[in-house]
Structure 1
């Protein structure tokens, strides 16, 4: 599907036309629809997120005229508008339309249509076109070819960036949605390499012998139970060679998690292909950062592997070593993600020289109990850096929330037989984050647990069922902020 700005919408050439209408609007230019009558019959009042569809037969063709409520200055809600707009576009796709026009001329009557709003709106349109049906043998290609947006003095650069960000999110979702029998660590590495082709992004895939030489023993302990070898994916964007600052983005890359010897029940295992949602976000974001040519140094690191069962799997009760030098008591092999992340966090500091680190991971089920599926809990050692990350998420219309870090919680990650334990107990989201924080040393570090936000059980708004691409766009915005 092509998304483009146009100076004029030719209604007769469109299969569907979506028009934004305010609550106080009395007429729609060049339309026979009577808004007063619709309001009188309570069919459409222009309230935020409300919609009304009229289908007409004209000169042998079917055309759909759709009204979308923008509300008023007091009631306008961009999230609601984007959600309804995405639903309307999906409905039109089901009706096999080829061209859709969007006229939001009245948007300026209810809000200031600045670059931030434009990016969220346009990227949302780009994101809603995706659904995962790659392996359905009877899947028919979408008939939707073009969405034309009437240009109301929109910023062309913001539009082009928004489309790129939408594509970034879709790529992240595609990676997450691929089944684990196909999306192995090797496949993920291959896709990262192909994604970087044609860009200025440097990419290096480290094999198992190289990972062993680096002393990443915690990562390797998780990986050793699988017949699919681990792959350490390193992506470098050197946009500001004169700066000493290097931002490390670390994504959890468990392409499948059975739970290991602490095996999950089947119901909890089915969607474990999504346990690399953090890796998907980092890989997709790194590609966008490079394409935008941002003046900032960013290194993306993914310790990709599977957590499986075999005769050589690591075991509850084991004590393992780590690249950071600390020993870890294994209380549960299903608390594996943090074991891969600590070595990746150590690597990005020690080898790549990261001065700031963000790690993003589908880490704990407790995260869902904390904030549900609408926001991701965060653990950090630096509030200033957290607020920069929070701003980036807000700009992308995603939500995070900083969790409290009390000294008593820090004591919970310690163990009497080893330096640390991978099962510190409740509050699980916080203690899991603090476990990783033990390896961040004194540099600004933010841990984002996207266990609740990375996957949708059913289609909703801009999202289809499956991966959401949570964090991909915010990481790009963070890099952009740090490039100023």
Structure 2
């Protein structure tokens, strides 16, 4: 798996700047004021750094962005990058500044001069996130960044503050790797094996096979995968870091490792992106990895339904009726609305077995949410205002876009079936809402519940301040913060 680039924290040493052969990064505030080492660097550059800081170009440079001064005279370094970071920067701006550094690390090493000593943990976290590169299937010699060193006033304090975010970066990378993997590699077997390997971190991991799922009555989930050669599975990951008698928070993820649409087959154009239809399960896995790595003082159980939706001769047909683990019958109108069938059974199982204090499910569930919110925000649906507000607050603090969507009886009525208890779709209008209404039928009235439709945020076609093109890892940071704020204060 991919790992964040190691970042060392060292004391400020002006003499090291003169000998550096890779890239030197100078972090300065909006006033352009340099410390002693920065002034030494400017002298080595024959005043070029100070001239830039006094120029209109620096004034116009946005906070969190970087400008490169190439081939600086008087230095062995290949370039000097000036990154602007306001003294009163928020978390998002500090991470963006780190991302500006991580976007272009040097193979010869990167030396970051941060004499101000502010926002160092968030700066290093943004650097690590943006330096991510998925190269598992590329041949030849890949560009590998050289050592990354942050020169700061108090290295020990900075390293201690950054440590929890290093664990979070590992969780985000794990999620990104899973979402980026092609389906011929990340089969249901391989996915389950990667999760089982996290037992080494202290997680209890249990894999439920098709025989177990049949006995439990998970016919909705099994119906989705019955056309695939890869067997359907449910993986349960339990982290017990809180009090023994404290009910866990349950995270439930949709893990469709590839979605052809089944008999209701998708158009060929863009179908290759359906390797990311396990994004919800990927986020759950990344959160559980983060909790284990940072030894979170909370009880959390993560459950993922792993299936592949294929149009085999045994595949589920439009018009079939399946009975869920709860006992409700579902008329399958469209086999491409399969994720909700998977989640229905796993949601019910999570409540029946663990009696959680709350449930949060994640899924790349509907194209309708992209129509509604684009790629900037995840759709948030909930039956509990206080629980939902806790998540929205955490998402905002982490800079992960999230927007609450409406629910109601009028939407629910669209799921009425002529021959079963419900249909699995409610029509094109309000499609993401009727999908949430379907899931709510498998949530007990007394259970606080949030549904996160991450179809628009799990994988992007353009790079961002903190991620290259591809998987984003959206949600790992927000859920980790929510768990920390709810259980660990």
8 A contact 1:124–1:166 mirrored in 2: no
- Among 64, 69, 72, the alignment partner of 2:84 is 69
Single out whichever of 438-447 and 392-401 deviates more from structure 2.
392-401
Structure 1 distance, partners of 2:369, 2:153, is 41
| TM-aligned CA distance change 1:239 to 1:131, over 3 Å | same
Per-residue deviation at 1:232? Answer: 0.9
Secondary structure (helix, strand or coil) at the match of 1:30 reads helix
Q: Partner residue of 2:102?
A: 89
Structure 2 distance, partners of 1:353, 1:329, is 28
Q: Partner residue of 1:23?
A: 30
| TM-aligned CA distance change 1:149 to 1:468, over 3 Å | farther
Per-residue deviation at 1:453? Answer: 0.5
Q: Partner residue of 1:473?
A: 477
Per-residue deviation at 1:237? Answer: 1.0
TM-score (normalizing by structure 1): 0.91
- Among 275, 284, 287, the alignment partner of 1:285 is 287
5+ residue gaps, structure 2, are none
Secondary structure (helix, strand or coil) at the match of 1:197 reads helix
Structure 1 distance, partners of 2:252, 2:298, is 16
Secondary structure (helix, strand or coil) at the match of 2:257 reads strand
8 A contact 2:279–2:458 mirrored in 1: yes
| TM-aligned CA distance change 1:243 to 1:399, over 3 Å | farther
Single out whichever of 130-139 and 180-189 deviates more from structure 2.
130-139
| TM-aligned CA distance change 1:79 to 1:16, over 3 Å | same
Structure 1 distance, partners of 2:202, 2:154, is 34
Structure 2 distance, partners of 1:146, 1:72, is 23
Per-residue deviation at 1:441? Answer: 1.1
Secondary structure (helix, strand or coil) at the match of 1:479 reads helix
Per-residue deviation at 1:280? Answer: 0.8
| TM-aligned CA distance change 1:433 to 1:18, over 3 Å | same
Q: CA-to-partner distance for each residue in 1:262-297, whole Å, 9 max, x for gaps?
A: 100111311000011111111121122122222221
| TM-aligned CA distance change 1:62 to 1:123, over 3 Å | closer
Secondary structure (helix, strand or coil) at the match of 2:485 reads helix
Structure 1 distance, partners of 2:367, 2:299, is 33
- Among 25, 37, 58, the alignment partner of 2:51 is 37
Q: Partner residue of 1:215?
A: 217
8 A contact 1:239–1:297 mirrored in 2: yes
In the alignment, structure 1 residue 458 sits paired with structure 2 residue 462: yes
Superposition pairs of residues 314-329 of structure 1, within 5 angstroms: 314-329=316-331
| TM-aligned CA distance change 1:467 to 1:50, over 3 Å | closer
Structure 1 distance, partners of 2:240, 2:273, is 35
8 A contact 1:224–1:313 mirrored in 2: yes
- Among 93, 100, 103, the alignment partner of 2:113 is 103
Q: Partner residue of 1:440?
A: 443
Structure 2 distance, partners of 1:392, 1:21, is 29
5+ residue gaps, structure 1, are none
Q: CA-to-partner distance for each residue in 1:345-384, whole Å, 9 max, x for gaps?
A: 0111112332310001111111111211111011100011
Per-residue deviation at 1:304? Answer: 0.2
8 A contact 2:24–2:77 mirrored in 1: no
Q: Partner residue of 1:409?
A: 411
Structure 1 distance, partners of 2:49, 2:185, is 52
Q: CA-to-partner distance for each residue in 1:214-265, whole Å, 9 max, x for gaps?
A: 1100000001010110111110112234333211100110000000001001
Supply the RMSD in Å over aligned alpha carbons. Answer: 2.3
| TM-aligned CA distance change 1:236 to 1:40, over 3 Å | closer
Per-residue deviation at 1:35? Answer: 6.0
8 A contact 1:319–1:328 mirrored in 2: yes
8 A contact 1:319–1:418 mirrored in 2: yes
Per-residue deviation at 1:424? Answer: 1.0
| TM-aligned CA distance change 1:82 to 1:297, over 3 Å | closer
Single out whichever of 9-18 and 267-276 deviates more from structure 2.
9-18
Single out whichever of 135-144 and 354-363 deviates more from structure 2.
135-144
8 A contact 1:69–1:81 mirrored in 2: no
8 A contact 1:258–1:307 mirrored in 2: yes
Per-residue deviation at 1:23? Answer: 2.8
8 A contact 1:318–1:329 mirrored in 2: yes
